[in-house]
Amino acid sequence: MAENSYQIDLVVTWDEVHRDTKDLVRRLMALGPMKGIVAITRGGLVPATILARELELRYVDTLCIATYDEKSIGDINLIKAPEEACADKGEGWLLVDDLVDTGATMREARKLLPNAHVATVYAKPGGLEFVDTYVHDVAQNVWVFFPWDTSPQYVSPMVRDGNA
């Protein structure tokens, strides 16, 4: 696996993901009715849930692709494709992920669903060419920590640790 050099960490809270995904909903409402949503697992599952509720879509499927392991990017591993959406080549489907980074995952997803409308909550320059609609720009050297990947924990006051 190749190791990327991220210089900045960005921690996103549940409230921020919820707010930003609702902003994504507002941008997508003008597209009109969709057949359903395809969430790229695992990161796209939470945004897809919010989108499904707010857009009143009941058909939600998954495209299971693995490329990340913590902060390492490796080979693309297609685990499961959404059969019905693939049969339509994505026409009328919304393809959702939390973040597009280098574009490697979305490039593979676009091969399967070339006509889907691709939406992400966050987007880095390296993957922008694969996204139709997104909410926030993120610099390429930023590693985004989502709330489903982190856990709140107690931290001692700085003065106790000599970090004042």
Domains and their CATH numbers in the chain: 2-161 (3.40.50.2020)
- DSSP-assigned beta bridge partners for residue 39: 62, 96
- Encode pLDDT of 139-150 as tens digits: 999 999 999 999
Q: How do beta strands 60-69 and 36-41 pair?
A: parallel
- Encode pLDDT of 103-114 as tens digits: 999 999 999 999
* Predicted model pTM: 0.87
Contact 69, 54 (CB under 8 A): no
What's the number of CA atoms in the CB half-sphere (13 Å) around residue 143?
A: 16
List residues with catalytic annotation: 97-98, 101
Arithmetic mean of pLDDT, 16-28: 98
| Amino acid 137: pLDDT | 97
Residue 163 CB contacts under 8 Å (≥ 6 apart), including other chains: none
Distances (CA, A) of 159 to 131, 153, 163: 45, 18, 6
